[in-house]
């Protein structure tokens, strides 16, 4: 290598095992033929052997990783973690035999979350969401996507996105916001779904885009959500505003949502338990990421798994996420999802870890800067004191990163 130009190094890691998750490295988890990494100007500036460090790095502060694994920081690419209230009581009632319909009649279910979220101030939304986000950050998550979708009116959808942006100023994490106005039909629009979609497209979306509060637009395309035609209207409105789209697709039935979001060059199609070959082929052709959500599958006690083998065969990139939400996935742990992806979906540990790093970055349109260890990428990385990376997927409850660097700066040592 040459030292002709080298930015002033801020930090050097040596004695590490580097799991880059970069396709340039063919070995499992992209393990690099290297044990050292140089950070400069917030980015990875060099990777190689510690015996061949660039001259400029010789005097920089150094951390000996003593054989620990270094991975890219974790990315949670699908959450609904901003909401108010709790559904624990409803959970309990159901276990005492109450039906979903009974609970819905009494104002429970998503209606309860919408009512509580509408009643909350932005500050209250922030305070209630903070422990959920803190839990992710503690595990090593440095990028998280947060959706709106429990306001279902313009003011509350704006408040949810404002809360999400404010959370990013409180914890060492990058937040990507997604407008999910087409999440559910609000009670006041019962029987008038097309009118509600009018509101989403002509009022909510322009207001949110006008304030720059959304990085992407999502919808729930399902028998109990919105039709493909209604979903497409949302996508067209998003495209006119220059916002990328993604979709809750084929979770409970096959609606052709994956092919629809692929047609609009979507970032991701999420859930996908009922995805068919045509949908998967459309995703492969458009480069749309399959975001798999084992927490919701588990909590709903589903039995129809997403077609992992089909996604593998067609080389559709697979991401894994928490889907944190009060109704179907109240789990603020991406590490738990790694285990569930392996046990419930039979993904390999390498696939699961790729799904929370490289492919999760891609699902957020951040693949160029995040998700792998490579020269030029953000120095968002973690050190793990495990013998084998599969430990992170195999057991749950004991693993925390022993070192966290965000933009090359040490967040803390736990
Ligand atoms: Zn979701």
Q: What percent of the chain has pLDDT over 90?
A: 90
Average pLDDT, the chain: 95
Distance 332 CA to ligand 1 centre (A): 13
Distance 2 CA to ligand 1 centre (A): 47
Distance 325 CA to ligand 1 centre (A): 7
Q: Where are the beta strands (DSSP E) in 166-271?
A: 174-182, 216-219, 246-249, 268-271
Distance 174 CA to ligand 1 centre (A): 19
Q: Which of 120, 91, 6, 107 is nearest to 56 (CA)?
A: 6
- Residue 186, pLDDT score: 95
Task: Band the pLDDT of 3: cuts 50, 70, 90.
Answer: low
Residue 414 has pLDDT above 50, yes or no: no
b/e code 155-174 from CB counts within 10 Å (16+ = b): ebbbbbbbbbbbbbeebbbb
Taking CA atoms, 315 is separated from 249, 252, 265, 310, 374, in Å, by: 19, 23, 17, 8, 22
Residue 108 has pLDDT above 90, yes or no: no
Distance 79 CA to ligand 1 centre (A): 6
Predicted confidence (pLDDT) per residue in 56-105, tens digit? 999 999 999 999 999 999 999 999 999 999 999 999 998 999 887 788 77
Distance 289 CA to ligand 1 centre (A): 15
Query: And the tokens for 124?
Result: 């209250």
Task: Band the pLDDT of 113: cuts 50, 70, 90.
Answer: very high
Distance 293 CA to ligand 1 centre (A): 8
Task: Band the pLDDT of 29: cuts 50, 70, 90.
Answer: confident
Q: Which of 179, 323, 191, 194 is nearest to 251 (CA)?
A: 323
Distance 78 CA to ligand 1 centre (A): 6
Distance 248 CA to ligand 1 centre (A): 6
- d(C-alpha 28, C-alpha 319), whole Å: 17
Residue 381 has pLDDT above 60, yes or no: yes
Average pLDDT rounded to a whole number, residues 235-262: 97
Distance 396 CA to ligand 1 centre (A): 23
> Is there a contact between 252 and 203 (Cβ–Cβ < 8 Å)?
no
| Residues in Cβ contact with 382 at an 8 Å cutoff, skipping those fewer than 6 apart | 70, 71, 72, 73, 74, 140, 401, 403, 404, 405
Distance 220 CA to ligand 1 centre (A): 8
Distance 123 CA to ligand 1 centre (A): 23
Distance 295 CA to ligand 1 centre (A): 10
Residue 246 has pLDDT above 70, yes or no: yes
Average pLDDT rounded to a whole number, residues 94-117: 87
Predicted confidence (pLDDT) per residue in 342-376, tens digit? 999 999 999 999 999 999 999 999 999 999 999 99
Distance 225 CA to ligand 1 centre (A): 12
pTM confidence score: 0.96
Distance 398 CA to ligand 1 centre (A): 27
Predicted confidence (pLDDT) per residue in 168-213, tens digit? 999 999 999 999 999 999 999 999 999 999 999 999 999 999 999 9
Task: Band the pLDDT of 4: cuts 50, 70, 90.
Answer: low
Tokens 């020269």 belong to 375
- d(C-alpha 28, C-alpha 317), whole Å: 16
């Amino acid at each position: 290598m040459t030292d002709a130009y080298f930015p002033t190094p801020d930090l050097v890691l040596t004695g590490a095992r580097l799991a880059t998750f970069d396709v340039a490295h063919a070995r499992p988890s992209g393990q690099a033929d290297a044990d050292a990494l140089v950070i400069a100007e917030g980015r990875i500036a060099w990777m190689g052997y510690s015996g061949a460090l660039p001259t400029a790095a010789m005097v920089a502060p150094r951390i000996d990783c003593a054989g620990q694994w270094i991975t890219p920081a974790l990315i949670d690419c699908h959450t609904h973690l901003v909401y108010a209230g709790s559904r624990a009581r409803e959970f309990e009632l159901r276990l005492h035999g109450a039906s979903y319909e009974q609970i819905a009649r009494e104002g429970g279910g998503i209606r309860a979350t919408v009512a509580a979220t509408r009643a909350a101030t932005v500050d209250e939304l922030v305070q209630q969401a903070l422990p959920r986000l803190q839990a992710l950050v503690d595990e090593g998550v440095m990028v998280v996507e947060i959706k709106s979708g429990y306001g279902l009116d313009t003011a509350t959808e704006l408040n949810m996105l404002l809360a999400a942006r404010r959370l990013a100023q409180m914890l060492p994490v990058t937040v990507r916001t997604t407008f999910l106005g087409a999440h559910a039909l609000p009670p006041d629009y019962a029987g008038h779904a097309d009118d509600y979609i009018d509101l989403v497209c002509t009022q909510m979306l322009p207001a949110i885009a006008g304030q720059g509060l959304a990085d992407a637009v999502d919808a729930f395309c399902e028998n109990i959500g919105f039709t493909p035609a209604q979903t497409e209207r949302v996508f067209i409105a998003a495209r006119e505003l220059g916002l990328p789209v993604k979709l809750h697709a084929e979770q409970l039935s096959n609606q052709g949502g994956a092919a629809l979001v692929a047609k609009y060059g979507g970032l991701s199609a999420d859930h996908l338990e009922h995805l068919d070959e045509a949908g998967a082929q459309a995703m492969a052709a458009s480069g749309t990421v399959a975001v798999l959500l084992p927490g919701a599958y588990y909590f709903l006690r589903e039995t129809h798994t997403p077609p992992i083998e089909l996604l593998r065969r067609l080389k559709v990139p697979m991401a894994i996420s928490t889907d944190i939400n009060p109704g179907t996935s109240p789990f603020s742990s991406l590490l738990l999802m790694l285990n569930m992806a392996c046990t419930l979906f039979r993904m390999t540990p390498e696939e699961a870890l790729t799904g929370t790093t490289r492919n999760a970055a891609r699902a957020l349109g951040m693949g160029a800067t995040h998700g792998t260890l490579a020269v030029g990428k953000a120095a968002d990385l973690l050190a793990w004191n495990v013998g084998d990376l599969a430990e992170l997927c195999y057991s749950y409850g004991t693993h925390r990163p022993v070192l966290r660097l965000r933009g090359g700066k040490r967040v803390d040592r736990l």
